[in-house]
Amino acid sequence: MESAILLCVPDAEPLVHGWREKGDPSAAHGVPAHVTLLYPFLPRERIDAGVLGELEWFFSGIDAFPLRFGRVGRFEHAGIVFLAPESDTLVELTRAITRRWPECPPYAGQIPAGEVVPHLTIVHSEDRGLRQSAGNAVSARLPLRTTAVQAALWVCDDDGDWTELATFPFGPPE
């Protein structure tokens, strides 16, 4: 059973929810609008009180921070349209988590931690028309401003459905 560390972005839901329902398979499996900090994380059977405590300690040392999504981006080769956050903090968080758990490289090592492109998926579909429509509609409503206040550990069950196992609040903003 897989797990992931996500930065859920509830303020993005009004903007992307309908599009994610149409074209993001993760939405159908219970995953809200989010930016992935680390996937895959540890197998579910390795997540214990010690791991949860370490994650809580780690994230309590991160101050809540403003997050702005100012443009729509695309990974055309993968059929992904996404909101692009304007924050180096997300890359730094992924690098720091990966240093602590080097056995969990981002995207199973397909993307080195230094090359991670944080993003909030709007659609992940082969339907080019859907990708174009979603990108145009969401782009017209940007920028989206929010504050990142916590990370969350999500786990996948044998049916492919995801649930939130724990949340890890950040410290107060500076």
* DSSP labels, the chain: --EEEEEE-GGGHHHHHHHHHHH-HHHHTT--SEEEEESS-S-GGG--HHHHHHHHHHHHTSBPEEEEEEEEEEEGGGTEEEEEE--THHHHHHHHHHHH-TTS-GGGGTS-GGG----EEEEE-S-HHHHHHHHHHHHTT--EEEEE-EEEEEEE-TTS-EEEEEEEEPBPP-
Task: Give the pLDDT band of residue 174 (cuts 50, 70, 90).
Answer: confident
pLDDT at site 1: 83
Tokens 């994610």: give the residue.
Answer: 20
- Res 167 pLDDT > 90: yes
Q: What is the pLDDT of residue 35?
A: 98
pLDDT digits 0-9 by tens, 84-142: 999 899 999 999 999 999 999 998 888 766 788 999 999 999 999 999 999 999 999 99
What ranges do the domains of the chain cover?
3-169
What pLDDT is stored for residue 155 in this prediction?
98
Q: Model confidence over 40-76: pLDDT tens digits?
A: 999 999 999 999 999 999 999 999 999 999 999 999 9
The whole model's pTM is what? 0.95
3-169 homologous superfamily: Cyclic phosphodiesterase (3.90.1140.10)
Q: Is the pLDDT of residue 80 over 90?
A: yes
Q: What is the pLDDT of residue 108?
A: 86
